[in-house]
Amino acid sequence: MRWRNSSNNYGLISILMHWLVAIAVVGLFALGYWMVGLTYYSSWYRTAPDVHKSIGLLLLGLMMLRIIWRFVSQGPAPLASHGRATRLATKAGHGLLYLGLFAVMISGYLISTADGRAISVFGWFEVPALVTSIPNQEDIAGLVHEYLAWALVILSGVHALAALKHHFIDHDSTLKRMLGRA
């Protein structure tokens, strides 16, 4: 398998980044959903949010690398069997996923830094609080983060269902290309 994308297939780097993002999104959503129910007396009350923030910031870095990679190694051409509507839906869906990912991560950052404290990423480094002056920053960003997280998971589910539709109903290589088997 090639490292870079070709005109017909995704390369190993694109495939790994895609699946790492997918795992991180599902994992962060599950962790976030679980941790909001923790009580003050839970042993995970402080640890779970720290893990959630750390993974979220690493995901932000991965997404920035992914955008750079899209310019360095263009993705494969759309399949010939995909009509205009499918190509537009693909572009719109991917655009919404990228926009949603960045928006949910920025809102998470705004929640975490509202009090002016930096965010420690697993104790390896800290991300400073750059924006702290928005009125009700933590509450507003919290609502945005919650709704965007749900929207992102739903959109990710639609994305996965579309890939399965292409594989099992259309019998094209859309899913195989992201699995490195086309």
* Closest to 149 in 3D by CA, of 83, 85, 105, 94: 105
Tracing tokens 């893990």 back to the chain, one arrives at: 51
Q: What is the pLDDT of residues 52-95, one digit of tens each?
A: 999 999 999 999 999 999 999 999 999 999 999 999 999 999 99
* Closest to 12 in 3D by CA, of 159, 178, 163, 166: 178
Q: Which CATH number fits domain 12-178: 3.20.20.140, 1.20.950.20, 3.40.50.10260, 3.20.20.150?
A: 1.20.950.20
Q: What is the pTM of this model?
A: 0.93
94's enclosing H/E stretch is helix 84-112
Read off the tokens for 157: 């589910």
Q: What is the pLDDT of residues 100-128, one digit of tens each?
A: 999 999 999 999 999 999 999 999 999 99
Q: Can you tell me the distance from the alpha carbon of 64 to that of 66, in angstroms, rounded to the nearest whole number?
A: 5
Instruction: List the beta bridge partners of residue 119.
Output: 127
Q: Do residues 116 and 167 touch, judged by C-beta distance below 8 A?
A: no
* Closest to 46 in 3D by CA, of 37, 55, 35: 35
Confidence of residue 1 (pLDDT cuts 50, 70, 90): confident
For the chain, report the end-to-end CA distance as a whole number of angstroms.
10
The residue extents of the domains of the chain are 12-178
Q: What is the pLDDT of residues 41-62, one digit of tens each?
A: 999 999 999 999 999 999 999 9
Q: Do residues 131 and 140 touch, judged by C-beta distance below 8 A?
A: no
Phi, psi (rounded to 5 degrees) for 4: -95, 160
